[in-house]
Amino acid sequence: MRTQDARSDVAWRRALAALLVLVAAWGVCWAVLTPPFRSPDEQTHLGSVLRIAYGGGWPPPGEAYVPPIVADAEREAGWPGDLPGRRIVRPGKPQFVDRTPSVRAERTRIDAGNAVTPTPPPADAVVDQMTQHPPGWYAVGAALLRVTGLADARWDQALLALRLMDVAMLAAAVPFAAASARRLTGSWPAALVAAPLPLFAPGVGNILGSANNDAIVVIALAVVTWLSVRVVTGDTRWRTAVALGVVLGLGLLGKVMPAFAVPGVVAAYALAPWGGRPAPRPWRVDWRGTFWPRAARCATALGTALAAGGWWWVRNVLVLGAVQPVGRPRDVSRLDIVPAADVLPTAVRRVAQSFWGHLSWLEIWLDLRLVVLGSVLLAAAGVVALTVPGTRRGALVLAALPAGLTFGVIFNAWQFWRDTDRLVALHGRYVYGGLAALGALLAVGLWHTVRRREDRARVTLVVVTGLGLLSGASGLAWAFGAFYRCADDTFGDALARWAAWSPLSPGWLAATVGAAAALAVGAVAVVVRSAVVARRSSPVPEAGGRR
Q: Do 322 and 407 form a contact (C-beta atoms < 8 A)? A: no
**Residue 1 confidence (pLDDT) above 60:** no
Number of domains in the chain: 1
For residue 258, being part of any structural domain is answered with yes
Q: Does some domain include residue 339?
A: no
Taking each helix axis as running N to C, give the angle between helix 68-76 and helix 42-53, from 0 to 180 degrees, rounded to the nearest 10.
140
Asked whether 194 and 234 are in contact (CB, 8 A), the reply is no
Percent of the chain with pLDDT over 70: 94
Give 341's pLDDT tier (boundaries 50, 70, 90): very high
State phi, psi for 259 to the nearest 5 degrees. -60, -25
Burial of residue 126 (CB within 10 Å: 0-12, 13-18, 19+) is middle
What tens digit of pLDDT does each residue of 437-490 get?
999 999 999 999 999 999 999 999 999 999 999 999 999 999 999 999 998 999
* Dihedral sign from CA coordinates of 503, 504, 509, 511: negative
**b/e 176-188 (16+ beta carbons within 10 angstroms → b):** bbbbbbbbbbbbb
> Rounded CA gap, 394 and 181, in Å?
9
- Does residue 388 lie in a domain region? yes
Is 540 among the domain residues?
no
Quick one: pLDDT at residue 462?
A: 96
3-state secondary structure of 169: helix
The answer to whether residues 420 and 205 touch, using CB atoms and an 8 Å cutoff, is no
Q: Is residue 341 part of a domain?
A: no
Residue range 382-396, pLDDT digits in tens: 999 999 988 999 999
For the chain, give the mean pLDDT. Answer: 93
344 Cβ contact partners less than 8 Å away, ≥ 6 residues apart: 410
- pLDDT score for 10: 86
What residue numbers bound the domain in which 251 lies?
2-322+350-534
Per-residue pLDDT tens for 222-260?
999 999 999 999 999 999 999 999 999 999 999 999 999
Q: How far is CA 326 from CA 60, 312, 321, 433, 475, in A?
A: 11, 15, 11, 22, 34
How many residues belong to the chain?
547
The Cα 284–Cα 312 span in angstroms is 37
The number of CA neighbours under 13 Å toward the Cβ of 150 is: 19
Residue 338 is assigned to a structural domain of this protein: no
In a domain, 193, yes or no: yes
Read off the pLDDT of residues 141-183 as tens digits, 9 standing for 90 and up: 999 999 999 999 999 999 999 999 999 999 999 999 999 999 9
- For 252-318, give the secondary structure using H, E and C: HCCCCHHHHHHHHHHHHHHHCCCCCCCCCCCCCCCCCCCHHHHHHHHHHHHHHHHHHHHHHHHHHHH
Distance CA 528, CA 465 (A): 9
- Residue 73 falls inside a structural domain: yes
From first CA to last CA, the distance across the chain in angstroms is 27
What pTM does this model have?
A: 0.95
Q: What is the pLDDT of residues 22-54, one digit of tens each?
A: 999 999 999 999 999 999 999 999 999 999 999
The pLDDT of residue 545 is 47
Q: Where are the alpha helices (DSSP H) in 332-367?
A: 343-357
350-371: average pLDDT: 95
What pLDDT, on a 0 to 100 scale, did the predictor assign at position 473? 98
**Confidence grade of residue 324 (pLDDT, cut at 50, 70, 90):** confident
Q: What is the pLDDT of residue 532?
A: 83
> Residue 3: what pLDDT?
55
Closest CA relative to residue 309, chosen from 263, 238, 258, 240: 258
pLDDT of residue 387: 94
Reported as a single tens digit per residue, the pLDDT across 520-539 is 999 999 999 998 876 655 44
